[in-house]
Chains A and B, each alone.
Chain A
Amino acid sequence: MAADVNPLPVTESHQTNGDSPVDPEEWLHMYRQMFRIRAFEEEVNGLYTRAQMPGLAHLYIGEEAVAVGVCEALTKQDYITSTHRGHGHCLAKGAEPDRMFAELLGREAGYCRGKGGSMHIADQDGGNLGANAIVGAGTGIATGAAFSAKWRNSGQVAVTFFGEGALGQGLVYEVMNMASLWKLPVVYVCENNLYNEYTHYSQTTAGELRGRPAAFGIPVEEVNGQDVREVHTTARRLIEHARSGKGPAFLICNTYRYHGHHVGDINRAYYRSKEEEQMWSTQRDPLKMLASWLTDQHLADAGIFEQIETDARAEMKAAVDFAVKAPYPNASEVTDHVYA
């Protein structure tokens, strides 16, 4: 046998039932996860605007329900691939904020020893095969991970998150074709936040978005990406479909990023209106939507939401504190890890 690289995860029982009802506690947990992402991203925004963070930061604020709704339907052993807008996916898949902030600040304690940064954060132990700064590239890696999972009969599923902008990349169609031919356990999650950077997707996307996976015989579902309950219940079904050997699935989540394409994208009037931004953040906010449903169902009250907020903010403050104080990698690291 070959040397033991990329150790194979131990297979657990993966038999979740895609149709079983979700425990109310789980919705509250998802609220907490979404809030943690928001609090994390607000800290990133603060670090960046105070010039404490080098490089670029693409905030996930507004899209939290997608990462959380999908990742809560996965096991730790399942794989994800992520994007340049990847902090939310990473947290939702189980990464710790202290080591994430350390990565964003280029510190040795970071998940990638400071060598990846915001756009390449990965968490091998948590099944996150990495954010990717080449638009669409994660779809290929996830399809390969699904190929490997199927070949090894490991019961794992791979989920790939990508923006609707990635639909311009030929790679996506090549790997969907093979995934469908070979019935690979991969779920393509398209986060349609309406804009490819600064261009509305209607200017870049001909025909029907859902027609694209459909052409390969891949089942497609489209959900309100602001409603974590809808995202989650649909994702569970599609992930179960993939896990049970029926092949790939495609999930379109209609969503919105509240901030700019990256933190420096301040003046956005030339591509979208303030009214549009306000409409999404006031009427379609994933946290507000879930909070009001939980309240209506008498599953939570204002006190609980306040507690979650207080805890999340304290957690993120402490994580930032850890990262700011963490040392940079030693200069000798610059030549480490080029080759195994």
Chain B
Amino acid sequence: MSTLKEAIAQGKPMRELTMAQAVREALAEEMRRDPTVFVMGEDVAEAGTPFKVLLGLVDEFGTSRVIDTPISEPGFAAIGVGAAMTGMRPVIDIMFGDFLTLTMDQMVNQAAKARYMSGGKFSVPIVFRTTMGATRRSAAQHSQSLHVWPSHVPGLKVVMPCTPYDAKGLLKTAIRDNNPVVYFEDKMNFTTKGMVPDEEYTIPFGVADIKRAGTDITLVATSSMVYVALGAADKLKELGISAEVIDPRTTFPLDKQTMIDSAKKTSRAIVIDEGYERYGVTAELASIIADGAFYYLDAPVKRMGAMDVPIPFSPALEDLTVPTAETVFQMAKMLCGRA
């Protein structure tokens, strides 16, 4: 049951949840299951975070497990690392992905390396939950998608779900994982609705989900860019072009094979990701596809990321910086020789 499609095929009873509800449910289930799991961050308890994702969690688990901290990202991230090394499973809430700048030492030099540097003695079972995604009119310091940073660092795992189903199953896996995991939620998807099974389930890392099957072009898209790609696929269909949309769901571990197989089948691929295009996730994924499907490709693998500019405030400008269904559609049309 690693994808929603499988769960539906198995006839699992389901209900509709928002992504925020799915995240909350995953946390509550894991906290019930394992008393060493706790949540720590700014305004996580009674406020339930500024996005209200954790609303109600404190009522069940109390302030000793849903812990409000001072505004000290490096400090509470570090406390999380120390607690994880000594028997706990912290879920550290970093309100905005942009604040990863402040926690980088804890993630990169401490959490990611403690196991290796100790020759396998320590593990650091910690989850850093944070956000990504532009177009919320939040300007340059609250809009970035910096998931490529932890993706670059050996020792870390990186998750970026875009549906309630994926968000819940992957968060539960992240909490049970014995490694540090950075878990990104797109702010624009908190209210996105989708079906979630009534029964408990987890989703393994490193398994891509084919969000839409197709034959003429592969659109590999991450996080909210999956919706952009699906929008483009709808438009392409009107032209008789069948697009396959692949969501890797985790940038590490990464399901390379599903992307490569799809590109071999369609012979064309575009990689779409909301991080800066320069040296970004798109570069890594495109090179994997170019390498793995080289003899089957009819066109160069194209990359579409955020423009290499600080995210501007003005809506007129901000909307230009990220891929849209229209820009992906145009690119796909061109690759298919239909421009």
A residues at B contact (CB < 8 Å)? 1-3, 5-8, 79, 81, 110-116, 120, 122, 124, 129-130, 132, 134, 137, 139-149, 151-152, 158, 170-171, 174-175, 177-178, 181, 336-340
User: Which among A116, A130, A178, A337 is the interface contact of B69 at CB below 8 angstroms?
Assistant: A178
Given A144-B81, A174-B75, A178-B79, A339 contacting B117 (CB threshold 8 A)? no
Cα distance A149–B105 when bound, in Å? 23
12 contacts between A and B (CB under 8 A): A2-B37, A2-B176, A3-B176, A7-B87, A111-B118, A113-B120, A116-B118, A134-B109, A140-B77, A144-B85, A148-B88, A339-B155
A101 to chain B, nearest CB (A): 15
B57 to chain A, nearest CB (A): 17
Hey, which chain A residues are within 8 Å of B105, CB to CB?
A: 134, 137, 171
Are B176 and A141 within 8 A (Cβ)?
no
Tell me, yes or no, whether B178 is within 8 Å of chain A by CB: yes
Given A6-B87, A147-B83, A151-B88, A140 contacting B117 (CB threshold 8 A)? no
Q: Which residue of chain B is the closest to A160 with respect to CB atoms? A: B82
Q: Which 4 A-B pairs have the closest CB atoms?
A: A144-B82, A140-B78, A174-B75, A113-B119
Q: Which residue of chain B is the closest to A113 with respect to CB atoms? A: B119
Are A6 and B82 within 8 A (Cβ)?
no
Are A145 and B86 within 8 A (Cβ)?
yes
Cα distance A20–B68 when bound, in Å? 39
User: Which among A132, A151, A337 is the interface contact of B115 at CB below 8 angstroms?
Assistant: A337
Given A3-B178, A137-B109, A140-B74, A115 contacting B82 (CB threshold 8 A)? no
Tell me, yes or no, whether B38 is within 8 Å of chain A by CB: yes
Are A129 and B78 within 8 A (Cβ)?
no
Cα distance A337–B36 when bound, in Å? 23
Tell me, yes or no, whether B110 is within 8 Å of chain A by CB: yes
User: Which among A79, A152, A177, A340 is the interface contact of B178 at CB below 8 angstroms?
Assistant: A340
Binary CB contact string for chain B from 56 to 86 against chain A (1 if under 8 A, 0 otherwise): 0000000010000110101111111111111
Hey, which chain A residues are within 8 Å of B110, CB to CB?
A: 132, 134, 137, 140-141
Cα distance A134–B121 when bound, in Å? 20
B167 to chain A, nearest CB (A): 20
Are A122 and B78 within 8 A (Cβ)?
no
B66 to chain A, nearest CB (A): 13
Hey, which chain A residues are within 8 Å of B82, CB to CB?
A: 81, 129, 140-148, 158
Cα distance A149–B179 when bound, in Å? 21
Given A122-B117, A336-B120, A338-B154, A145 contacting B176 (CB threshold 8 A)? no
Are B179 and A340 within 8 A (Cβ)?
yes
Given A144-B85, A144-B86, A151-B64, A175 contacting B79 (CB threshold 8 A)? yes
Hey, which chain B residues are within 8 Å of A112, CB to CB?
A: 117-119, 121
Are A171 and B83 within 8 A (Cβ)?
no
